[in-house]
């Protein structure tokens, strides 16, 4: 069964509004989660590392105020796209690091965001 869930799976919003995407670890607690962005036929681009109980670590070039990340519990991280614009339209994927056992990242099914 699924290890990581994302909600919603797709969302359409108007330009200027904010959108929140949830990522849940279903099988284990995760102190670290990751958020990626992916354009069609391209690779995954890491946006930020979400750390439970502390501030997220953003990759170079990613606007912290634009993409707000909250990791309030060991099973939930949220990504909020603030004041969304058409150029924010993309596929957003989260992943969860397994803290114990074989090193592996488990990926959510992704969220397709379309900003009109």
User: Interface with another protein by CB under 8 A: which residues?
Assistant: 32, 34, 38, 41-44, 46, 49, 51, 57, 91, 93, 95, 97, 102-105, 107, 109-110
Question: Minimum distance from CB of 95 to another protein (Å)?
Answer: 8
For another protein, the closer of residues 10 and 16 by Cβ is 10
Q: How far is the CB of 85 from another protein (least distance, A)?
A: 23
CB of 50 to another protein, least distance (A): 9
Question: What residues have CB less than 8 Å from 8, skipping those under 6 apart?
Answer: 21, 111
- What per-residue string of b and e applies to 27-55 under the rule 16 or more CB within 10 Å gives b? eeebebbbbbbeeeeeebeebbbbebeee
Answer left, alpha or beta for residue 17, where phi above 0 means left and psi between -120 and 50 means alpha: beta
Of 78 and 111, the one with the shorter C-beta distance to another protein is 111
Report how far residue 105's alpha carbon sits from residue 29's, in angstroms, rounded to the nearest whole number.
13
- Closest approach, Cβ 68 to another protein, in A, equals 19
């Amino acid at each position: 069964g699924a290890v990581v869930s994302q909600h919603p799976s797709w969302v359409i919003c108007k330009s200027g509004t904010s959108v929140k995407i949830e990522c849940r670890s279903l099988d284990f607690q995760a102190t670290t989660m990751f958020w990626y962005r992916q354009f069609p036929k391209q690779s995954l681009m890491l946006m930020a590392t979400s750390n439970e109980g502390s501030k997220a670590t953003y990759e170079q070039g990613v606007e912290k105020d634009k993409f707000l990340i909250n990791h309030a519990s060991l099973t939930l991280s949220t990504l909020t796209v603030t004041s969304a614009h058409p150029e924010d339209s993309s596929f957003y994927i989260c992943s969860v690091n397994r803290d114990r056992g074989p090193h592996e990242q488990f990926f959510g099914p992704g969220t397709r965001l379309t900003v009109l």
